[in-house]
Amino acid sequence: MKKYQGKGVYGAVAVGKVSVFKRADAAPERLQIEDTASEIARLETAKEKAIEELSAIYEKALAEVGEENAQIFEIHMMMVEDDDYNEAIVDMINEEGVNAEYAVAVTGENFANMFASMDDSYMQARAADVRDISRRIIACISGGGDENLSFDDKVIICADDLAPSETVSLDKDKVLAFVTAFGSSNSHTAILARNMNIPAIIGVGEQFLSEICDGDTAIADGFTGQFICCPDDETLCAAMKKMQEESDKKALLLNLLGKENITLDGTKINIYANIGSVSDIGAVLSNDAGGVGLFRSEFLYLENTDYPTEEQQFAAYKKVLEEMAPKKVIIRTLDIGADKQADYFGLEKEENPAMGLRAIRICLTRPEVFKTQLRALYRASVFGNLGIMFPMITSVGELEQILAICEDVKKELTAENAEFSDGIELGIMIETPAAAIISDKLAPMVDFFSVGTNDLTQYTLACDRQNPHIEPFCDTHHAAILRLIELSAQNAHKFGKWIGICGELAADTSLTETFLKMGIDELSVSPSFVLRVRDAVRKINLKSQV
């Protein structure tokens, strides 16, 4: 029996046979070529094939994991067409007279190394994408495909790492789980696994691949992050039991559709869902969420090559409000910067982007961008039940500026006879320690708070959320974080305002009771977690607690 500890990125248990994932050779031989023109023609044909494949992967991802998560494959298509990348390949073929596979491999590696050496963690992550597309083009040149991604039986895939396109190409019905030597829980691959509901463990360490074989029986426990190969009978029985319990639980959860989020002693809360694009609404409704607690509006900016116009934004907000009506939809204003970059913003490179010009700081330094979004939001408000939420607040002064801009927008719209609802709730995210500490000053100025535990954890514990090496130091249950949430709840209630949590911690059912005791009014989680949290709420009795 061999045990490995990694990090679970999707909580579920799988027992089955191992299949070690082997890639097509990514290091092709260097050959001398006389006819460079026909070599370039081979390259062009392969690129067309790569684009076709990526477009099919994009469609598959769109159907399985939603628009926001599928976007990475649009970026891959753009990378295949990138002028600098292509010029470098063609120059190498012409100048050195080498074969196309070799030129792509060398150029891909050069570009990947360049990205990897950048300070910005978002750009560093692009290294994996360049390697991914280069591998694909090489496979297309040499006529190879993704054969290794289809399996006859259900298997636990074990790999050094999986590229996003590989993850999406996996046949979901044949994959029991995947386990990787490397990877970070914020990587696209981990996010895709979560959205595809595949048990997944990352970062179990490099040596595991040399110690396991195809066909070995193994257990992947996405709850604990433990991967056990060749388990003894007792361990195997325990895992089978846990798996059965989980599947019974899942079936039971479906019974909770349509039920209230109410504790045994009668305390009710709202359970809402987090979304990243309009196409996620289907999952919100099928999981019976009471509303949308966080609509990350950045997707509108990230998927465009220029600032989205007021009309483009209006159409998206109107659609989501109409589809959710009469349920509440809280749309968060632009949270770009740090790990989410759009070139046309022309943001300068920063030493510490997570603490730099991001989110509301960009909106306040570029009020015209902010106003365009607010105008679209206010105009869309008549089509449903809108709340607007502002990210990365640290001071009363910022909030005063924001509210003044909202008033300006309302005046402008009134002067233009444009309609907007007078019942829009305005709230702020509590995602900096500063906001939590001065929450008594901020509460009277807004209608609600929503705690962003992802950033609150990052800033409170000084743990960069993008850095996989510091995960061991990042204790999301740290007393400092819980105290800041409790303080914010007390201050919200002191002024008669409601408070929710929309960071990942909202779905951590080991804390549901703690949150309810603090008086948290709303938990906003990924659509697939709504029923799990409802289940946890319905088992709690606040009155029987000491």
Catalytic residues: 188, 502
Nearer to ligand PEP by C-beta: 429 or 540?
Answer: 429
Q: Which does 502 bind (CB under 5 to 8 A by kind): Mg ion, ligand PEP, none?
A: ligand PEP
Name residue 387's beta-bridge partners.
Answer: 330, 425
Residues 360-419 close enough to bind Mg ion by CB under 5 A: none
**Type of residue found at 215:** G
Which of Mg ion, ligand PEP, none binds 280 (CB below 5-8 Å, type-dependent)? none
474: Cβ–Cβ under 8 A, 6 or more apart, which residues? 457, 461, 463, 465
Beta bridge partners of 407: none
| Residues 430-449 contacting Mg ion, CB under 5 A | 431
DSSP 356-377: SS-THHHHHH-HHHHHHHHHHH
Least Å distance between CB 455 and Mg ion?
A: 4
Q: Name the one residue in this structure whose structure tokens are 């989020």.
A: 261
CB nearer to ligand PEP: pick between 420 and 459: 459
In the complex, least distance from residue 456 CB atom to Mg ion, rounded to whole angstroms:
8
Q: Which residue has the tokens 């365009």?
A: 372
CB of residue 335 to ligand PEP, shortest distance in Å: 6
Closest CB to ligand PEP among residues 447, 455: 455
Smallest gap, in angstroms, from Cβ of residue 431 to Mg ion? 5
Binds 296: which of ligand PEP, Mg ion, none (CB < 5-8 Å by kind): ligand PEP
Q: What minimum distance in Å lies between the beta carbon of 388 and ligand PEP?
A: 15
Question: Which of 24-32, 206-214, 269-277, 423-431 is the region at the interface with Mg ion (rule: CB under 5 A)?
Answer: 423-431
Q: Are 58 and 72 in contact (CB under 8 A)?
A: no
| 203 within 8 A of 158, measured Cβ to Cβ | no
Closest separation between CB of residue 80 and Mg ion, Å?
Answer: 32
Contacts of 226-230 with C-beta under 8 Å, sequence gap 24+, read 226/3, 226/4, 226/5, 226/6, 226/201, 227/3, 227/4, 227/5, 227/6, 227/179, 227/201, 228/1, 228/2, 228/3, 228/4, 229/1, 229/2, 229/4, 229/18, 230/1, 230/2
Q: How many CB atoms lie within 10 A of CB 20?
A: 19
Q: Which is nearer to ligand PEP, 109 or 339 (CB)?
A: 339
Which residue lies nearer to ligand PEP by CB, 167 or 466?
466
CB of 142 to ligand PEP, least distance (A): 41
Binding mask 314-353 for ligand PEP (x = CB under 6 A): ---------------------x------------------
202 C-beta neighbours (distance < 10 Å), count: 25
Q: 403 to 432, contacts with ligand PEP by CB under 6 A?
A: 431
Alpha helices in 142-265 (DSSP H): 164-169, 188-196, 208-211, 233-254
**163 vs 502, beta carbon nearer Mg ion:** 502
Determine which residue in the list 455, 464, 522, 535 makes contact with Mg ion, applying CB under 5 A: 455
SS3 annotation, 380-411: HHHHCEEEEEECCCCCHHHHHHHHHHHHHHHH
Whichever of 36 and 453 has its CB closer to Mg ion, that residue is: 453
What is the smallest separation between the CB atom of 458 and Mg ion, expressed in angstroms?
8
* Residue whose tokens read 């100048």: 95
Residues 138-197 binding ligand PEP (CB under 6 A) are none
SS3 of residue 464 by DSSP: coil
Name residues whose C-beta falls within 8 Å of residue 231's C-beta, 6 or more positions apart in sequence.
1, 217, 218, 219, 239
At its nearest, how many Å lie between ligand PEP and the CB of residue 532? 18
Residue 321 interacts, among ligand PEP, Mg ion, none and using kind-specific CB cut-offs from 5 to 8 Å, with none
Please, which residue, 398 or 431, has the CB nearer to ligand PEP? 431
Q: Considering just the CA atoms, what is the radius of gyration of the chain in Å? A: 25
Residue 99 interacting partner from Mg ion, ligand PEP, none (CB closer than 5 to 8 Å by kind): none
Q: Taking CB within 5 to 8 Å according to partner kind, which of Mg ion, ligand PEP, none is near residue 453?
A: ligand PEP
Q: Which of residues 83-102 bind Mg ion (CB under 5 A)?
A: none
The nearer residue to Mg ion, 359 or 376, going by C-beta atoms, is 359
Q: What angle do CA 522, 527, 531 make, to 5 degrees?
A: 70
Q: How far is the CB of 276 from Mg ion (least distance, A)?
A: 13
Q: Residue 172 has what DSSP assignment?
A: G
Select from 183, 199, 384, 452 the one that contacts Mg ion (CB under 5 A).
452
71 binds, among Mg ion, ligand PEP, none (CB under 5 to 8 A by kind): none
Q: Identify which of residues 47 and 332 has a Cβ nearer to ligand PEP in the complex.
A: 332
User: What proportions of the chain, in percent to the nearest 5, are helix, strand and coil?
Assistant: 55, 15, 30
- Burial (CB < 10 A; 0-12, 13-18, 19+), residue 469, is exposed
Q: Is 296 in the site for ligand PEP (CB under 6 A)?
A: yes
Report the residue number whose CB is nearest to Mg ion. Answer: 455
- According to DSSP, the β-strands at 13-20 and 217-221 are antiparallel
Please state the φ and ψ torsions of residue 211, each to the nearest 5 degrees. Answer: -105, 0
x/- mask, ligand PEP, residues 492-511, rule CB under 6 A, reads ----------xx--------
Q: Which does 68 bind (CB under 5 to 8 A by kind): ligand PEP, Mg ion, none?
A: none
- What distance in Å separates the CA atoms of residue 349 and residue 365, rounded to the nearest whole number? 16
Residues numbered 449 to 488 that lie near ligand PEP (CB under 6 A) are 452-455
| 364 and 382 Cβ atoms separated by less than 8 Å | no
Helix runs in 119-196, H state only: 121-141, 164-169, 188-196
Cβ atoms of residues 366 and 334 within 8 Å = no
In the complex, the residues that contact ligand PEP under the rule CB under 6 A are 294, 296, 335, 431, 452-455, 502-503
In the complex, the residues that contact Mg ion under the rule CB under 5 A are 431, 452, 455
